[in-house]
């Protein structure tokens, strides 16, 4: 099984996306234009979501999700489910609501390694770095 399909199925298993969202992503992956004979998306850029930090009681959070840009138009409703609730809450406290991002529109205008979101959170109980970028 190729890694893109495997990551989608892992996100489904972990409850980060619904079965309907996983089906949409898998269907879009099959329709991806750069698909080589062996499956998957060949050398495509990816939307990356990385969260790394500690929350109350030194509980660690580490998220690293990569989704092919060919699927970008389908990410509007999914990106928010890839980031832990505590990270969402802290971002909202900073005035950032990533659930409203129109990822498909952003990706069309982005260059590689340009950050969509890059936030360092350093509060009493929460120390976290959240980065969403194309790479």
pLDDT class for 30, splitting at 50, 70, 90?
Answer: confident
Alpha-helical segments (H) within 44-95 = 79-82, 85-93
Express each pLDDT in 46-97 by its tens digit.
Answer: 778 888 888 878 788 888 888 777 676 666 666 666 777 787 788 888 887 7
Question: What pLDDT sits at residue 73?
Answer: 63
Which of 36, 66, 45, 65 shows the shortest CA–CA distance to 108?
A: 45
Express each pLDDT in 97-116 by its tens digit.
Answer: 776 666 666 666 666 566 77
- The pTM assigned to this predicted structure is 0.47
Q: Is 30 exposed, middle or buried (0-12, 13-18, 19+ CB in 10 A)?
A: exposed
Q: What is the largest CA-CA distance in the chain?
A: 51
What count of Cα atoms within 13 Å lies in the side-chain half-sphere of residue 83?
27
Q: Is the dihedral of CA 22, 61, 130, 42 positive or negative?
A: negative
């Amino acid at each position: 099984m190729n890694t893109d399909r495997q990551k989608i199925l892992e996100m489904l298993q972990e409850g980060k996306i619904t079965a309907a969202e996983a089906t949409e992503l898998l269907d879009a992956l099959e329709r991806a234009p750069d698909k080589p004979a062996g499956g998957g998306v060949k050398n495509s850029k990816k939307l990356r979501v990385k969260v790394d930090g500690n929350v109350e009681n030194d509980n660690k959070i580490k998220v690293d999700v990569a989704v092919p840009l060919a699927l970008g138009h389908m990410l509007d409703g999914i990106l928010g489910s890839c980031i832990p609730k505590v990270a969402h809450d802290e971002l909202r406290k900073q005035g950032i609501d990533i659930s409203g991002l129109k990822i498909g529109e952003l990706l069309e205008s982005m260059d590689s390694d340009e950050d969509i979101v890059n936030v360092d959170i350093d509060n009493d109980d929460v120390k976290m770095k959240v980065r969403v970028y194309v790479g």
